[in-house]
């Protein structure tokens, strides 16, 4: 498996609008696009070839809300681009790496994604990101 690059850094936030103001006003960055996906509001902010992905949960029961309740706002995951998410998962499984996802699922803006459990990656939730076949 070859990691092509860091695709994005996911940052869990309680208030997406406030977080966007900080990154745009204080740091001078621009929000490229926003999406709602799987109970989350997400803003994408490119910087130096990597996206910051600001993520707010739509519900108190959402994954991001639970993360914030347990650990506070901050870095939630680091995402790596790979050529083939399924092949990467197979390779990691063969090495005994603990996975959150056994098969890829739909991700933001035309991608497929899968997560590697933080217990296997030194406390960091890692995401594998790839373009969907034919997409």
CATH number of the domain encompassing residue 78: 3.10.180.10
Over residues 66-82, the pLDDT tens digits come to 999 999 999 999 999 99
State the residue range of the domain holding 45. 3-131
Whole-angstrom distance, CA of residue 128 vs CA of residue 117: 11
Torsion of CA 31, 80, 15, 19, to 10 degrees: -50
As a whole number, the mean pLDDT across the chain is: 94
The angle subtended at Cα 86 by Cα 81 and Cα 92, nearest 5°, is: 80
State residue 85's pLDDT score. 97
Span 21-48, mean pLDDT?
Answer: 96
pTM: 0.91
Work out how many domains the chain is built from and give that number.
1
Span 103-130, mean pLDDT?
Answer: 94
Q: How confident is the model at residue 110 (pLDDT cuts 50, 70, 90)?
A: confident
Nearest residue to 78 via CA among 106, 50, 57: 50
């Amino acid at each position: 498996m070859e990691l092509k690059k860091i695709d994005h850094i996911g940052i869990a936030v309680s208030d997406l609008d406030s977080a966007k103001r900080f990154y745009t006003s204080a740091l001078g960055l621009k929000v490229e696009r926003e999406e709602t996906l799987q109970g989350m509001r997400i803003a994408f902010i490119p910087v130096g070839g990597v996206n910051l992905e600001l993520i707010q949960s739509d519900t108190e029961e959402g994954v991001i809300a639970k993360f914030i309740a347990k650990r506070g706002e901050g870095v939630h995951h680091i995402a790596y681009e790979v050529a083939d998410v399924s092949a990467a998962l197979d390779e990691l499984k063969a090495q005994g790496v603990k996975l959150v996802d056994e098969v890829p699922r739909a991700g933001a803006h035309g991608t497929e994604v899968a997560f590697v459990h933080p217990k296997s990656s030194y406390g960091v939730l890692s995401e594998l990101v790839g373009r969907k076949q034919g997409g």
